[in-house]
Every structure is written in structure tokens, then in C-alpha cells.
Structure 1
């Protein structure tokens, strides 16, 4: 195993948007890129084995140039397959590769990857080594603080040291343990208590490692406060459900002097992208199911969302109608 190389990622991403199944597809990522030019974006988890054996690789790999910086997240436990997946990710132009050791889904764990792999640090280390040796991209890992009863600080620290020695460039740690029997994935995001202090202790014991904190962050000020203890903060469901609440990421987190965008600004800027998607046979609902989350906390927001949703689902939404509804938002100052 290689020795630990401190701060091996030159461009440290202070804030990232978590990989979320059925959420962080390329359309949502385009919306987020209009909100922040700097936050690191992630794909949904891609099962490495599925990628290797499919004839539709672009379905898993395609993204838009505007999405950079972007990391692809892989799930798997076979170093040989992960090796091939890493080569594809590099050839496709991704900025990073992330290895999933945090998902508590029964479907994922039955394949012996995701959170269940935390119980096998040697296997995880082999997977990280295989990814590292197959490409020139940073290889990072996302995991929990523990699994089931294997939740002691000693186990967590041993796991991290094993993976660090294998060459992992950054650790994104969801500060909850995963309970694989008895809780579903949604419950695993809320019921196990958050233990930021445990991750802080880990960082203090391993100051040379890049450690990003994840779990429970609901606003920018919380994130900025966490950056005093950690190298980065990952935001999940809060940013998906309430994207506009995070419209000042570039200003407050990255110190960029830029004007915050309104919901109407963002939607108008996306119209060429939406028009292109529709022209190429895409469905309006593919994008609008994410777009509706931009409009909340304003007069008649629910009516606006319903109008967009119904028209999209019925395949009756055209660009002119979208412009008309968005112009109404603009007139109200939103």
C-alpha cells in the first residue's frame, strides 16, 4: 500500500451536492450549475458492473460541459470491474471518481457494496487501489461513521486509515451510522443520530487527510460554520428540495462577487437547454420535475407548480407556455 499523501487534491471543493438516486441526474445538475458555478456536482450512483456490460454506456456517462467540476460515483466491490469503470470515467472527461460505501439500500447491500462494505476495510482498500491505479483522476470515498453495531470510533478510524493508505484523496463522511436491518433508506437519512463530534475527532486525529462532512445541513451559514472544522461540506436533500435557498453559495462560500439569481432568472437561462432536450425527443417532465422545486414561499407558488406539473405530465408543455409562466414570476419579483 502507498503512503498517505496529505492534501493530494490541489483544488479543494468547499461545498458539494451529494449524489442522490433519482435526483442528481444531468437535468438537476444543470439547474444547480445555474445556481452555483463552483460547487462540486455528483452523478447518481453508477453500478460499475452495469456500466461495463451495457451497450448504452452514454446513458450512464453523459453529462454537459457546463457541469464541470463533476464527480462520478461508482458502486461495486470487484477491483477488476472498477478498474475498467475508472478508465471509462477518465476517457469521458470526469473530474473525479467517488466510491460509494455509504448507501444503506437493501438492493445495494445485497450486491455487497454500499454501506455493508464498511465491514470489510481490506476489500474497500483494494477497490480504491484499483481505481487509483487505473486513472489519473482524484479518487474519493463516501461512507458512514459505522454500520449496525460496528460503530465504535476505533473501527471508524481503522477503516479510514486502511482506505487512506490505499490512496483515497478525500473522505466524505455522513455523520450517521447505517442500520441495515430494520430501517429503510429514507429512515437511515434521519433516524440514526448525527455525530459531528465523532467526525471532528477523526479529523483532529488525522489532520493530514481531507475530510468532508455530510448530513443534516439545511442552510449556507451552517455550512460555513462547519468549514472551520472540516475541509468541505456536502449537502443532500435540503439542496434538492429547496435549491433557491442556496443561491448565495458562490458569494458566501467561495467569495465571488456575483448577483444572486431569482427563480425566473434561472428558468429563463435554462430555456435553450430545455428546448434542445425537447427537440431531441426528451420529455418536459424529465426537467420540470426538478424545476418545480425552485418556486416556493411566494404567492400562488403551489398553483405555478401545479400548472407546470400537469402540463408536463400530459406532455402538453411547450416553451412558449413555460416562458409565459416564468414571465409572471419575473413580474412578481421572483
Structure 2
């Protein structure tokens, strides 16, 4: 399968303040999430939406350079359009990994400047880099010189000690001068001293207006908004002020939401009409992964939310949770789980 050409068009971006045409469309994206946006989740997501831009989990430059590169970068062509998110700060290492991203067929390479965990801080990765905009700029410039792929940055609106509007503008301006034209902005600060990563996703207040102001101040840049977005109505409101939206936890826990993306934001028909159809479309991929030695439970944990809020959904989840981990578990587990949720007549997809 060839890559899907999803450059921004005037029709698809009618509600956005600007159209930049920087590689794949970022009008609607699913955020990179550790342990969640694996290839198995992404395969399901792509069955539900042809146009949503998907991101890998963050992969550190050290893991790619010193670890099993093939394993970390393995993905299916069916996942395109797909962006690789890198964690790192050394310009030479980032350049090397950006070149690997192009070699392995990714559509974009993204630098993580938003993760607040202690472990990555100790290695100068993630949100702590907002305190070092020149270092980020050096890394971005090296990546741009090493690849023809779009190089983007995902960051917070600030960190403790550097949480003013002026600090945010200085960061964006410094990195933009290095050649970055796309900024994915999580509309919260990250508190690096005292809050866990989970708390950093919930406690600092969302300041969507700051992201809107960035777009107003830098109209030539592509600004994508992220953080706490759950509904299509919210997405449309954000798209009045920014170039794209990125959803995280909602798109994972309630993946059927993605089945409405193509009609709602791209003017295209949905790829599937029912949850049953979507899951059955995964069966050949799951069979191939089982043949490769992947345990069923490693794949099905990403499917548990597919029948979120549906009659029988709890029984569906319970059956998978109780049986997918057993030795020799196969597609029979999913067949039995599907039998617990009634298959509806095909109908127009509504947002779940």
C-alpha cells in the first residue's frame, strides 16, 4: 500500500485560520502516548479514520542508536500517515534519528518538549527543554538538515519558573528561527518539581487562549492545540483559532470517536460503519502478529474501549481481560467477546 497523500487543502481547512501545507494534514491528530499509541492501537485507529494523523510513542534517541532500532521503528504501511516522536536533546543524535525516520518511511519527525517525568528530565528530555530554547533550536536545525521530512515540536505553554507569556514567545521564536514551522502546543504548563506525569495532565489549568494568541501573533506558523479535548464540538471551536487539534486520552479510551473524524472534518465517508466491522477488519493483522509470536493480550488491551458505552460493552471487556492472557489465546477469544455485544444495523455514525 502506498502512503496516503494528505496535504492540507482549502476545502479540508476551511475553518482553520491558516493553511500551511507542511506535509501530512494535522487538522485532526492523535497524540503520542507512552504504552498506548503502539502499532496495535494505531492499526485500529487507521481502520476507523483514513485521515487522522497518528503519532508513535516517544522513542528516545539512545534507544534507537544503542538498542534494537528495527523493533522500535517497526510499523505497518497501513498506519500512514504516521509521525515518529523522538525524545532527546543532543543535536547529532537527533539528526541521526531524524534520518532513520525518513529511512523507515515515516511522514514526520516530532521532538518531545512536553513530557514531565523525572526519568526523562534526568536525561535532558521532554518538558525540561523548555528552559533551554537554544538547545531545542540546535536540535531542530540539525534534524532539518538531516531529513526532508517535516520536523515539528510538541511542547507545553511553560514550566515552573518559566511560565510567562514572554517566556513562551521567546521559546517559539527561538525554535522557529531554527526552521521549525509547526508547533503542537499542550495548553498547560508542566510543573517539574512536585507533580507526577499523571498530575501534570490534570492539575495545571488549561489556557487555550494562550494557544490562540500564539496563532494570532505568529500567523505564518502552524499551531496545533492539545490538552483536555474530548468532543467534536470542542474541536470545531478550537479550529476557529488554530490550524489543528490533537486528542489524547479520549481517542484511546473511546476509539470509536475516530470513526466520525473523516465525515466531520474531511468531508469523506467513514471507512467502517460498525464496531463489529472495525474489529473484524483487524483479524488478519492480529493473526499475522500471533504468528510472529506476539501474545494476544498485548494487542487486545488496546481494543477494550471499542464498545465504550454500548450495551454489552462491559461483558466484552471482561471476557477479553479474563481470557486474552491465557497460553495459546487466539481469535476465538475475540469471537466470543463479540458475541456479547449485539451488532447493530448499519447507520450513520454519530460521535460516541
The verdict on a shared fold, with TM-score over 0.5 as the criterion, is yes
Alignment partner, residue 3 of structure 1: none
Which of 131, 134, 139 lines up with 1:127 in the alignment? 139
1:35 aligns to 2:52 (yes or no): no
Contact kept in structure 1, 2:312 and 2:340, CA below 8 Å: no
User: Aligned ranges for residues 230-245 of structure 1 at < 5 Å?
Assistant: 230-245=242-257
CA distance in 2, matches of 1:8, 1:260: 28
CA distance in 2, matches of 1:261, 1:110: 46
CA distance in 2, matches of 1:297, 1:263: 12
Contact kept in structure 1, 2:316 and 2:340, CA below 8 Å: no
CA distance in 2, matches of 1:301, 1:72: 32
Contact kept in structure 1, 2:272 and 2:278, CA below 8 Å: no
Gaps spanning 5+ residues in structure 2: where? Answer: 1-18, 347-352
Shift of the alpha carbon at 1:327? 4.5
Which of 229, 250, 261 lines up with 1:249 in the alignment? 261
User: Aligned ranges for residues 43-122 of structure 1 at < 5 Å?
Assistant: 43-54=56-67, 56-122=68-134
CA distance in 2, matches of 1:294, 1:330: 13
User: Aligned ranges for residues 211-230 of structure 1 at < 5 Å?
Assistant: 211-230=223-242
Aligned length: 328
Say which is worse superposed, 307-316 or 116-125, in terms of deviation. 307-316
Structure 1 length as normaliser, TM-score? Answer: 0.94
Alignment partner, residue 207 of structure 1: 219
**Deviation by residue 1:189-233 (Cα, 9 ceiling, x = unmatched):** 010000011111111011110000000100122112211110010
Deviation >4 Å, runs of 4+: none
CA distance in 1, matches of 2:21, 2:27: 15
Alignment partner, residue 188 of structure 1: 200
CA distance in 2, matches of 1:123, 1:321: 49
Shift of the alpha carbon at 1:332? 5.3
1:266 aligns to 2:314 (yes or no): no
**Deviation by residue 1:45-91 (Cα, 9 ceiling, x = unmatched):** 0001221112x211110100000000000010100111111111111
Contact kept in structure 1, 2:25 and 2:53, CA below 8 Å: no
Alignment partner, residue 13 of structure 1: 26
Shift of the alpha carbon at 1:10? 4.8
Shift of the alpha carbon at 1:186? 0.3
Shift of the alpha carbon at 1:315? 3.1
Contact kept in structure 1, 2:61 and 2:87, CA below 8 Å: yes
CA RMSD of aligned residues (A): 1.6
Shift in alpha-carbon separation, 1:26–1:259, aligned structure 2, 3 A? closer
Contact kept in structure 2, 1:264 and 1:327, CA below 8 Å: no
More helix by share: 1
Gaps spanning 5+ residues in structure 1: where? Answer: 1-5
Shift of the alpha carbon at 1:333? 5.3
